[in-house]
Amino acid sequence: MRLLVFAGSTRQGSYNRRLAAATAALARTSGAEVTHLELGELDIPMYNADLEARGTPADVIRLKQLCFDHPAWIICAPEYNASYPALLKNTLDWVSSPVKADPAWTDGFRSSRGKVVGMLSASPGALGGLRSQGHLAPLLLNLQCWVAPKNFALGRAADAFDADGQLVADAARQNVQAVIDQVLWAASRFQQP
């Protein structure tokens, strides 16, 4: 099963980027074919219909293709002001934006329709970014994704990773693994003919 893992942050010391890397490693151990996407490696501007009218940026097409090619996604969502950050919203806005000049991408939901998405988050606070997931789920449903009911919010994230970036606590690893397992299981069922 092809799994796309990414964090809604580009900050160098981001806990959610660390969580995405640890999640990708666990998923590979589970036998998934994992693409760990770093959003900072893509040149994606803030969404603007005027900019889009001049031509969809090449990295947006690349992003659309990556999302399309992976039946399963796991998103590690930071929490800013009790919601998900602008970077994550902007990314998903571009993913769902139709490209009128390209017949392959005129359907705005082509990249997201039917994808099984697991939500994780990490925060230095006790709630672990859980409130961002509560706002993210309706957005994913609007993009016609299947949102996995199992999720996990990693609290006290400043102390949650070892020097190699792996999760320290067995309970945290087990909770992340449970999300991975459910996403992969559901995506495999939805891919059946």
Delimit the domains of the chain by residue range: 2-190
Residue 47 has a pLDDT of 94
The model's pLDDT over 32-86, given as tens digits with 9 standing for 90+, comes to: 999 999 999 999 999 998 888 888 999 999 999 999 999 999 999 999 999 999 9
CATH T-level assignment (fold) for domain 2-190 = Rossmann fold (3.40.50)
Please state at what angle helix 86-95 crosses helix 58-69, rounded to 10 degrees: 80
- The 3-class secondary structure across 74-137, one letter per residue, is EEECCCECCECCHHHHHHHHHHCCCCCCCHHHCCCCCCCCCCEEEEEEECCCCCCCHHHHHHHH
Residue with tokens 């969580």: 19
Mean pLDDT in residue range 74-102? 95
Residue 192 has a pLDDT of 59
Look at strands 72-76 and 146-147 and give their pairing. Answer: unpaired
One-letter amino acid for residue 23 of the chain: T
Sequence-separated (6 or more) residues with CB below 8 Å from residue 59: 42, 43, 44
Better-predicted residue by pLDDT, 192 or 163: 163
Provide the pLDDT confidence category of residue 193 given band limits of 50, 70 and 90.
Answer: low
Q: Could you give the percent of the chain with pLDDT greater than 70? A: 99
Tell me the C-alpha distance between 132 and 85, whole Å.
Answer: 8
Mean pLDDT in residue range 7-22? 97
User: Rg for the chain (alpha carbons), in Å?
Assistant: 16
Mean pLDDT over the full length of the chain: 96
Sequence-separated (6 or more) residues with CB below 8 Å from residue 113: 143, 144, 145
Mean pLDDT in residue range 175-188? 98
Eight-state DSSP code of residue 39: G
Mean pLDDT in residue range 113-142? 97
Q: How many CB atoms lie within 10 A of CB 185?
A: 14
Tell me the C-alpha distance between 21 and 152, whole Å.
Answer: 15
Residue 51 has a pLDDT of 86
